[in-house]
Amino acid sequence: IYPDFGKIWLLLLHKIEKTLQYSKYYNKKNELGRASGHVKLVDTLNRVIIEGNKAEKSSNPPRTFVTGRILVTRILDNDSFYLTADTLRTLYNDTGGYKYMIGYPHAKIFNKEFSAICDSISYSFTDSTIHLDKSPVLWFSDYQTTSVSIVIMLKNEQIWKAVLTSN
């Protein structure tokens, strides 16, 4: 039911080995892959590019863990949004698509419509919501707002609603 992460990692590791001499590891029995150096994971189906210094991907349970100089690009029809953080975790649904993406600490997210900083960001692919936790600051148009936490709901790839939680 899950995509064959082994084939994805073997392709990724082969490319790394061929072009850049970074360290790599893949255990076919456990379906666990690791790479370090400038790691770039490209998901054309979900239109997501994840870059970092170290990555680990497993298929049981299906997840990805990335650290070091992280840049996530989520390609949208009319724009893209970018996420940076020190650590990134992704969890997958039953069909192998993204369920959640969580960036922490020192997280930032931005596109041409808005930007935000906080300690922890989670993005839900199922309902297109962005959760900003631990001292978030959100900039939208000419406005700046802060709160204990902020939930941004997207509709048609644009901010539809933001819910601010106070103490």
- Cβ neighbours of residue 72 closer than 8 Å, sequence gap 6 or more: 48, 49, 50, 51, 82, 83, 84, 88, 101, 103
Across the chain, mean pLDDT equals 79
| Torsion, Cα of 79, 65, 4, 47 (10° steps) | 0
Rounded to an integer, the average pLDDT of 88-114 is: 85
Provide the token pair at 90: 């992704």
- For residue 13, is pLDDT > 80? no
- Cβ neighbours of residue 101 closer than 8 Å, sequence gap 6 or more: 48, 72, 83, 88, 89, 90, 122, 123, 125
Can you give the pLDDT at residue 88?
94
Tens-place pLDDT, residues 109-160: 988 888 999 999 999 888 889 999 998 999 988 889 999 999 999 888 778 8
Can you give the pLDDT at residue 96?
65
Give the span between the Cα atoms of 160 and 9, in whole angstroms.
Answer: 37
Report pTM.
0.77
Is there a contact between 88 and 99 (Cβ–Cβ < 8 Å)?
A: no
Of 4 and 96, the one with more pLDDT: 96
Give the span between the Cα atoms of 3 and 6, in whole angstroms.
Answer: 9
Can you give the pLDDT at residue 14?
40
